[in-house]
Structure 1
Amino acid sequence: MMKTAMTIAGADSGGGAGIAADLKTFAALGVHGTCIITSVTAQNTQGVLNSFDIPPDFIEEQFEAVIGDIKIDCVKTGMLSSPEIVRVAARLVKKEKLPLVIDPVMAAEAGGTLLKSEAVQVLIEDLLPLSVVVTPNVSEAQRLSGMKIRDISDASKAAKIISELGAKSVIVTGGHLKGTDILYSNGEFILIKGKLIKGGTHGSGCTHSAVITAQLSKGATLIEAAHCAKEFVEQAITLSFKIGKGAAPVNQIGHVLADAQRFRVIRNIEQALDLIINSQGFSDLIPEVGCNVAMGIPNASSVSDIAAVSGRIVRLKNEPHAVGCVAFGASSHIARIVLTAMHYNDLMRASMNIRYSEETLITCGDLGFSIASFRREDEPQGMSTMEWGVSDAINRVGKVPDVIYDKGGVGKEAMIRLLGRDAMEVAGKATKIAGAMKKF
């Protein structure tokens, strides 16, 4: 069965932190998330404008509704703004003996207080002793430990002090420690090293503790969960994007979407290969140097974002044969064609090269394909042929055409390049050409 986690936290109306961040993180890690809302905030990327605390009785009703129906494997707390809310959360977690991760949220990363000063001591006395781990950032660790943190040595001392207050384990997160987290558990210090990614983001602390909660719910050790949280948050920060005037929310599902896009590209090229390999007459379109079909992910920016056939497609016993498998970065040559086309029209994400002949060009025209060309002899010195040639052809016709060709040069085979929105589209154009070429 799918593992299930719970977050007891506040709702961020801007969608960047709190419940929103926790549920997105749980989903990205394959865990079902449940939520107990403690406060509703009027919040955006620039900060917290106001907040409304949910009555403790109703917080308990939410909890009892969930726990009475759903098995919870691990729970985390986030925004617990008042002493009364801290107490009810502690009582409920203790009653159900749930593994607890505490994110001692005190202020929003975008600005604004989320924990009343009088609630800090209640959190220390009532909630910390129930936790498997507490995950303060440097500012929160200073408040809990009562000491100033300037470096990793100070953070280690603070973690030990917080543990002595009742927490079983402590992770001082390293956004202010050059990217290194300090894990203190069972009397030992472990450095969870990472890289410090510059730029203000919103929701990283919530996301970090939510990753740990999700991983613990799946049976991971705390050390495994801590390393996973570090990597996950770094990816989420790297893939963050501005949606407002303030701090950019971290992107919890960015890597999931990126992996999905890459899978779809590879699958599309594999389907295109099946189409051309089973197409009668396609082998006659394979150039002496072989042909290839490539496709990029949306917003591709480098050769590593373009997939193609490793080793190309060659003619073997008069039949098309893919020498290698489909992989990203497999062909810088055809990748540059795709990247250049996408510069002009980001929907045109695929290309294939086929053998040049006058008959093939005539067939392309008869099929209604738009055609453009470039001349290698016009290429400026120091320029890449593919980037310059494709750009020159596109500029000549004012759009990305179906076909771009050149008649070759010294040591360079003449070539036709088909362009389209995906690999299946360019493969379809190639099979149409092969079928229509029978008249010649």
Structure 2
Amino acid sequence: MQARIPKLLSIAGSDPSGGAGVQADLKTFSAFSCYGMAAVTALTAQNTRGVTAAFPVAPDIVAAQIEAVMSDIRPDAIKIGMVATPEIARAIAGALGEAPLNVVLDPVLVPTQGVSLALAGLETALSTTLLPLARLVTPNLHEASALTDTPLARTLDEMAAQGRLLTDAGARAVLVTGGDLAGEPLDVLADGAEIRVFHGRRVETRHTHGTGCALSSAIAAELAKGTGLIDAIAAAKVWLEGALAAAEALELGDGRGPPHHFFAMWS
């Protein structure tokens, strides 16, 4: 008997170069043998060199996309990425209503290169509307700093403290990703009860565009399959390390290229 195929919905911005946003999420879902759907929150102009422009979609259109999917194809997990504006954040929350348990929120705020992907007030809107809906929130160091209004974390203890602040604000679990720290990459999970550290392997590569999108959507894919949160994070991290290690084979652009989402299929 053929196994049931998990279904996932990405709610995020569009990246025409395919390295981040809904394009990267859909690739990741496929790499994990899942069926992907997408509701676009913003159009961007970007490539491996950075983001040059961003154009938010009208909130009612964002909500209509989500409602169309939810009323017909109930997803097993939802990944939320670039939200862009406070109004879109509220529209997403309203459209989701009583959302499924497996919502992964990747709070995209500022790209490594280029123009901002968030309007003023988005941090507050995320905290009050979407953060309580999420099973897991996956901020990087800069996003965790912005969401908690605290200085950029430099140590594990500071990352853990920011994770606790976000769980105190209503998040069920927070994975603060520390890939920008020097040395071995470390991620810190706070779930309100304990702190857990995930150790990783540093992959020396320029191809790091969209790694946050890839990690959060990989976790969502594992959750959609019924994997527990700890194992889902661990599996996603192992996959991402492989995707980063194989990224040079894509030969994409002369800036920060994306991971090789399909490395396991093409090796």
For normalisation by structure 2, the TM-score amounts to 0.93
AA aligned opposite 1:247: R
2:235 alignment partner, one of 198, 211, 228: 228
Q: Report if aligned partners of 2:67, 2:96 keep a CA contact under 8 Å in 1.
A: no
Q: Distance in 2 between matches of 1:94 and 1:156?
A: 30
Give the 3 Å change call, closer, same or farther, for CA 96–180 of structure 1 in structure 2: closer
- Could you give the per-residue CA deviations for residues 322-374 of structure 1, whole angstroms, max 9, x where no partner exists? xxxxxxxxxxxxxxxxxxxxxxxxxxxxxxxxxxxxxxxxxxxxxxxxxxxxx
Please state how far the C-alpha of 1:174 moved relative to its aligned partner: 2.1
Q: Distance in 2 between matches of 1:124 and 1:108?
A: 19
1:25 alignment partner, one of 24, 28, 35: 28
Structural RMSD (CA): 1.3
Q: Report if aligned partners of 2:164, 2:192 keep a CA contact under 8 Å in 1.
A: no
User: Which stretches of structure 1, 4 residues or longer, exceed 6 Å deviation after superposition?
Assistant: none
Which residue of structure 2 lines up, in the alignment, with residue 113 of structure 1?
116
Question: What pairs with 1:378-417 in structure 2 (closer than 5 Å)?
Answer: none
2:50 alignment partner, one of 35, 38, 47: 47
Please state how far the C-alpha of 1:98 moved relative to its aligned partner: 5.0
1:93 alignment partner, one of 70, 76, 96: 96
> Unaligned stretches of 5+ in structure 1?
259-440
Does 1:184 find its partner at 2:193? no
1:126 alignment partner, one of 124, 129, 148: 129
Please state how far the C-alpha of 1:117 moved relative to its aligned partner: 2.5
Which residue of structure 2 lines up, in the alignment, with residue 151 of structure 1?
155
Which residue of structure 2 lines up, in the alignment, with residue 161 of structure 1?
165
AA aligned opposite 1:169: A
Q: Distance in 1 between matches of 2:159 and 2:101?
A: 28
Please state how far the C-alpha of 1:199 moved relative to its aligned partner: 3.3
Please state how far the C-alpha of 1:192 moved relative to its aligned partner: 0.9
AA aligned opposite 2:180: H
AA aligned opposite 1:240: A
Does 1:14 find its partner at 2:17? yes
2:213 alignment partner, one of 190, 197, 206: 206
SS of equivalent to 1:248:
coil
Q: Distance in 2 between matches of 1:102 and 1:92?
A: 15
Q: Report if aligned partners of 1:60, 1:88 keep a CA contact under 8 Å in 2.
A: yes
Percent identity between matched residues is 37
Structure number, greater radius of gyration: 1
SS of equivalent to 2:97:
helix
Q: Distance in 2 between matches of 1:143 and 1:199?
A: 27
Question: What pairs with 1:31-430 in structure 2 (closer than 5 Å)?
Answer: 31-97=34-100, 99-148=102-151, 149-177=153-181, 178-200=184-206, 201-241=208-248, 242-258=251-267
Please state how far the C-alpha of 1:58 moved relative to its aligned partner: 1.2
Q: Report if aligned partners of 1:79, 1:114 keep a CA contact under 8 Å in 2.
A: yes
Q: Distance in 2 between matches of 1:60 and 1:254?
A: 34
SS of equivalent to 2:204:
coil
Q: Distance in 2 between matches of 1:30 and 1:110?
A: 31
Q: Distance in 2 between matches of 1:146 and 1:194?
A: 27
- Could you give the per-residue CA deviations for residues 418-438 of structure 1, whole angstroms, max 9, x where no partner exists? xxxxxxxxxxxxxxxxxxxxx
Q: Distance in 2 between matches of 1:57 and 1:233?
A: 34
- Could you give the per-residue CA deviations for residues 269-291 of structure 1, whole angstroms, max 9, x where no partner exists? xxxxxxxxxxxxxxxxxxxxxxx
Please state how far the C-alpha of 1:121 moved relative to its aligned partner: 0.6
Q: Distance in 2 between matches of 1:195 and 1:111?
A: 28
AA aligned opposite 1:250: P
The higher-RCO structure (CA 8 Å, 6+ apart) is: 2
SS of equivalent to 1:81:
coil
